[in-house]
Structure 1
């Protein structure tokens, strides 16, 4: 049974999330305090963690950032803060996804299943025969099996979604993908209007692979259309 930690100080919302996830086969732990929630998250193994932003003790931003520095597991923010700046900050902190309150329990379930299933496919491979080719473009080397990225022979650390997005674009060079298409391919669901999610992840990838992120050479922005990986660097 997959285990989920919910760090949420609104008792009604926390219990709604827990009860709905319990009904669908998940084991759920609740914690209302930010500091205690972070301690529990780091001391135990969970398949996914849901974090509110406004918490006593620590903010959700701080919790997500601290967990991401130690663990590579799906992190989902659910918050009443619905401004783009909050979503961008949450994703920049290391969250894989961001939902706003009020939310549909059915949508929550879909997103939880999607993130856990993708994590299991990526990190719990049992066959050693499924060797994937290493990608080399310009000064970038990406090994999908070890999930390592090197820029000019220096390893750079990427989150799950950053890595998946970069590999997908590198596998399909010179093809323009819209934000909605990328969200569907990487997050595995319709974007629900969350186009900022893709833009934030592209920005974060550029900061890690581009010599000058404001004048990118690898990932082009095709205004009004989407993004394209340039193989002729």
Structure 2
């Protein structure tokens, strides 16, 4: 399963860092932004499971961010604000927030509220996920969707060529199984293998670069010297 992604939008870096530290200890993938417009852009371009929004932010406040996001998305939203009046809390909930926390807060309470909102959201959407995601292959941070022929790495879309996608899907569909270069060439190109080793190697090299294996500790595609390649999922 991919890591659950939490977006933290707060222009106070110290608060955003504090939230990130404790959520990452829980195993969540945390993305931090400092203004409302960037928060909207991230939601539009990445897979986000939960949002923590400060109300008073530059460029676009938390209320407007929520209005924009609620036009197309239903993930949990937790408002974070120094405003403590009942009116502010009610206004936030009416606009579309699922919870409201006031500053200062304790990290333990924040983590508990995040966990509670995600449990509720996952339970309510379990049936929908089972219908639409049955063919998706999900690993820690990597989601491969054969129906849409899309790949996302920590929520960010990875643009692959058709051959690169087919190689990745072939390997990921059989984790730990070793595929020879000949087998990969025949399955992906559909042709009789004839000096196709270099073609496969070039595609594997580009695929590894796009999966950011040079930047991350995860090595999705493992070389088995003298044999071929395997998916290390």
Which TM-score band (shorter chain)?
0.5 to 0.7
Secondary structure at the counterpart of residue 27 of structure 2: coil
Corresponding position of 1:104: 106
Match of 2:125 in 1: 123
Partner of 1:82: 84
The runs of 4+ residues in structure 1 deviating greater than 6 Å are: none
Give the aligned partner of residue 51 of structure 1: 53
Match of 1:27? 29
Aligned-residue Cα RMSD (Å) equals 1.4
Aligned residues: 128
Secondary structure in structure 1 of the residue aligned to 2:71: helix
Displacement of 1:43:
2.0
- CA deviation vs aligned residue, 1:23-45 (integer Å, no higher than 9, x gap): 11110000001111111122221
Larger Rg: 2
* 8 Å CA contact retained: 1:3, 1:48: yes
Distance in 2, Cα, partners of 1:96 & 1:50: 10
Supply the distance in 1 between the matched residues of 2:121 and 2:90 (Cα, whole angstroms). Answer: 22
Could you tell me which residue of structure 2 aligns to residue 12 of structure 1?
14
Supply the distance in 1 between the matched residues of 2:71 and 2:48 (Cα, whole angstroms): 15
Give the SS at the match of 1:5: strand
Structure-to-structure mapping, 1:1-233, within 5 angstroms? 1-125=3-127
Unpaired runs of 5+ in structure 2? 132-233
Q: Is the 8 A contact 1:42 1:70 kept in 2?
A: no
Determine the C-alpha separation between the residues in 2 that align with 1:66 and 1:81: 22
